[in-house]
Structure 1
Amino acid sequence: MSAPPAARSAPPAAVPTRWRTPAMIVLAGCLIAMVSFGPRSAMGFFTNEMSVDRSWALAIFSFSAALQNILWGIGQPVAGAIADRYGLAKVLVVGAVLYAAGLVWMANAADPTSLHLSAGVLIGFGLAGCSFNLVLAAFGKLLPLSWRPMALGAGSAAGSFGQFLYAPLAVYLKAAIGWDATLMVFGAAMLIVLPLSVVLMTPPADPPRPDAETASQSLTHALTEALAHRSYMLLMAGFFVCGFHLAFITIHLPKYLVDHGISNAVGGWVMALIGLFNLAGSLLAGYWSGKVSKPYLLSAIYLARAALIVGFVLLPLTPWTALAFGAGIGLLWLSTVPPTSGLVLVMFGPRWMAMLFGLVFLSHQIGSFLGVWLAGVLYDSTGSYDVVWWLGVALGLFAALVHLPIQEKPVERPAARLASSPA
């Protein structure tokens, strides 16, 4: 089944300088996605050390990680709206500085409040300002239509390469220089985003386009239109499940493996395999998003996740089954992002994409908050992650069903209903 054309995706604003070729834009965006996603994906490797050194219960670290995820989600549509209105580069710079400061403070956190403010608040808002979500929005605004499907996949894959790079790096650096110094190194590395943000500069406001409807639409009308759109709301419901899966596995899988006799070194490679195989999964998802129905593709991804988790929980856990799970879940890890972001672009066009995809991502992060926090609470009370694994299976089946009715076509936008006043 061929995907309908993105009729609402008008040509992007002209790139103001010749050196910013499409390839340069994709490269800079992928580097930002890699550097911003890497430290966040390695957070699970600091759980045991911080809990032991500070004599904290697992629920304390879980709450900080959950707070990080929910604030990332809350901040994303706000950061997206600011980027849509005033340009992306400023938002990327502020986000990177907050992220770096959060990592450095986290390394020196001496009490739970400091941990919540650093790992939770600063890193959460930092991610909202410089993560792959804004990179994908930049691709939608700056790249020619022919570049977009694969670029969306490449941006998602770059985040996974950050996971592949940072997971074993975190294990190695912790052993060599300690967990606190490792966090400070990761914080310093975040500052590379500052010069790279210049490449992703967008104008403070989109100039007039052939698609006059989209050009004149206000932020308020864009929000009202999206929240009244059934397919958009179904997309949000499905992306909630993606967040639950990813956050639970990112934060709690390393401890789950250690509890079952799998070494931290093997756990590092399991997380690295998730990142490595997601390179292929995200690129394939980006490619197939331009070839087949995006809703059906998403339904298949979530169904495959549910089946994979069932196999992982029921089979005997060995280093080899753990590595196989890492490879399998990696193929499905961020493969949801290209078709999900692509559907937002098809439905509403590029004008408010950063904000509208940010709102979908808020749903993802609500799922992330519950996945991280609920797992910590249940583990402290039952000593097991079993209930959370089976809840992940049930949610995967729910997501597989909820994507089927989504209509992949531009929203109907009568000219008389458009708000032409500035937001």
Structure 2
Amino acid sequence: MPSPPALSRQAVVALLCGATIVTIAMGLRQGFGLLLRPIEVDLGVGREAFGLAIAIQNLMLGLAQPFVGAVADRWGAGRVAAVGGLVYAAALALSAAVSNALGLHLTLGFLLGLAMTGVTFVVVLGAVGRLVPPERRGVAFGIVTAGGSFGQFLLVPATQLGIEALGWRGMLLAGAGLAALMVPLARGIRSVPSSPGASRALPAGAGTLRDGLAEAARHPGYWLLNAGFFVCGFHIAFVSTHLPAFLADQGLDPAVGARALALVGLFNIIGSYVFGLSADRLRKRNVLAAIYLGRAVVFAVFLALPFTPLSATLFACAMGFLWLGTVPLTSGLVGQIFGVRHLSTLFGIVFMSHQIGAFCGAFGAGLAYRATGSYDIVWTISIALGVLAGLVNLPIRDRRIEREAAAA
């Protein structure tokens, strides 16, 4: 069996710069759950208000992502990432000056969500996917995804230390300075051409964006991917936003919540690489189903055990391994079925479904807590959704469109 082709220098640079951009963008974002209680006390806003800010952020990231992905496909990922980095830094700086819930919603919610469309998975994976040979695309996507987790492992503890040393406002200003580094890094993913195999992965009639969108709309598997990724967003937003507060409600030290989020990031470095590697060797839809079903099991076991620092640590490790392994598999399936010519746009639409789920997970959990005084119903819903997502991925037809067109 011939070995996969080597990566070009441009591909290596794009991979390193793209992974670093995602490391900063996702690492800062995953620490926002640590701000919930300090902001709740300082501004006198409820958890549902903070949850709504994070939900707006997730919703904006989802709704704007297909359009920003199309801009990246047309004008280049580097330009989009540079603008996204600037807006990201500005959003954090402005959020440090807010005094009420509306200010949180506009800065940490709307503006930051818009900024993230240019510096997270859709734009970066689209750029990397055009340079990396199909045989290595799964591993490359896994490395970029792992960058987000590495950032979480590094920056979540740093966020906790920053809050303790500088207060939550000072920490946000420090984060703004770090976010500005994404602007020069964007040069590494600029002017990325289509890969040689891109056109062969698409049928002859799918050259335009309109053709590509019509093809995806007719494919049942595309809608099943949207459904599964909705669940992924729900899980991640609920856990990252509310887990620290949930653990504190159980009488655990706030440092346990910070450590749990950091461990999620650490173990997802392993999980993202393993699942990215599996995307090149195993049937992606089956691995996706296993991830979602595994999450349901992890949630159920966590709730069945006493809430202690040890159980929180074990939960974080297990959940971290399954955290973002869905990203290289889902984006890989989109590229496998439809090709990479419109990958940023088509995966952007799937990612929009993910972010709508994230809106429900972040805001819905806050509403549930306000109404019932606990997160019990949200944990139950999370288990049920995990089982559902596992089942809907199994029937996806994952053959390339060109084969289906030829057979017809």
Could you tell me how far apart the structure 2 residues matched to 1:23 and 1:222 are? 28
Kindly indicate whether residue 319 of structure 2 is the aligned counterpart of residue 329 of structure 1: yes
CA-to-partner distance for each residue in 1:101-124, whole Å, 9 max, x for gaps? 111111111122211110111100
Q: 1:247 aligns with which of 237, 261, 276?
A: 237
Match of 1:358 in 2: 348
CA 1:143–1:55: 2 relative to 1, 3 Å: same
Q: TM-score, normalised by structure 1?
A: 0.91
For residue 224 of structure 1, report the CA deviation from its aligned partner.
Answer: 1.5
Match of 2:288 in 1: 298
Kindly indicate whether residue 24 of structure 2 is the aligned counterpart of residue 48 of structure 1: no
Match of 1:6 in 2: none
Kindly indicate whether residue 304 of structure 2 is the aligned counterpart of residue 318 of structure 1: no
Kindly indicate whether residue 83 of structure 2 is the aligned counterpart of residue 100 of structure 1: no
Residue 399 of structure 2 aligns to which amino acid in structure 1?
K
Kindly indicate whether residue 249 of structure 2 is the aligned counterpart of residue 259 of structure 1: yes
Matches within 5 A, 1:111-260: 111-202=100-191, 211=200, 213=203, 217-260=207-250
Q: 2:394 aligns with which of 404, 408, 422?
A: 404
CA 1:214–1:371: 2 relative to 1, 3 Å: farther
CA-to-partner distance for each residue in 1:224-255, whole Å, 9 max, x for gaps? 11112101110110010000000000000000
Match of 1:77 in 2: 66
CA 1:405–1:112: 2 relative to 1, 3 Å: same
The structure with the largest helix share of the pair is 2
Kindly indicate whether residue 65 of structure 2 is the aligned counterpart of residue 62 of structure 1: no
For residue 386 of structure 1, report the CA deviation from its aligned partner.
Answer: 0.4
Residue 322 of structure 1 aligns to which amino acid in structure 2?
A
Residue pair 2:231, 2:386 contacting (<8 A) in 1 also: yes
Residue 58 of structure 2 aligns to which amino acid in structure 1?
N
Could you tell me how far apart the structure 2 residues matched to 1:340 and 1:332 are? 13
Residue 234 of structure 1 aligns to which amino acid in structure 2?
L
Could you tell me how far apart the structure 2 residues matched to 1:318 and 1:216 are? 54
Deviates more, 1:197-206 or 1:66-75: 197-206
Match of 2:26 in 1: 37
Could you tell me how far apart the structure 2 residues matched to 1:83 and 1:96 are? 14
Q: Percent identity?
A: 41
CA 1:208–1:54: 2 relative to 1, 3 Å: same
For residue 202 of structure 1, report the CA deviation from its aligned partner.
Answer: 2.7
CA-to-partner distance for each residue in 1:353-411, whole Å, 9 max, x for gaps? 00100100000001000001110001011110000001000000000100010111112
CA-to-partner distance for each residue in 1:252-288, whole Å, 9 max, x for gaps? 0000000001111111111100000000000000011
For residue 207 of structure 1, report the CA deviation from its aligned partner.
Answer: 9.5
Runs of 5+ in structure 2 lacking a partner?
none
For residue 314 of structure 1, report the CA deviation from its aligned partner.
Answer: 1.3
Q: 1:381 aligns with which of 363, 368, 371?
A: 371
Count of residue pairs brought into register by the alignment: 400
RMSD: 2.0
Residue pair 1:96, 1:190 contacting (<8 A) in 2 also: yes
Residue 38 of structure 1 aligns to which amino acid in structure 2?
G
Residue pair 1:254, 1:268 contacting (<8 A) in 2 also: yes
CA 1:342–1:187: 2 relative to 1, 3 Å: same
Residue 128 of structure 1 aligns to which amino acid in structure 2?
T
For residue 132 of structure 1, report the CA deviation from its aligned partner.
Answer: 2.3
CA-to-partner distance for each residue in 1:131-169, whole Å, 9 max, x for gaps? 122111111112233331211100111101111111111
Runs of 5+ in structure 1 lacking a partner?
1-10, 418-423
Residue 364 of structure 1: SS of its match in structure 2?
helix
Could you tell me how far apart the structure 1 residues matched to 2:197 and 2:314 are? 51
Residue 83 of structure 2 aligns to which amino acid in structure 1?
V
Could you tell me how far apart the structure 2 residues matched to 1:301 and 1:219 are? 31
Could you tell me how far apart the structure 2 residues matched to 1:56 and 1:386 are? 22
Could you tell me how far apart the structure 2 residues matched to 1:210 and 1:243 are? 31
Could you tell me how far apart the structure 1 residues matched to 2:327 and 2:248 are? 30
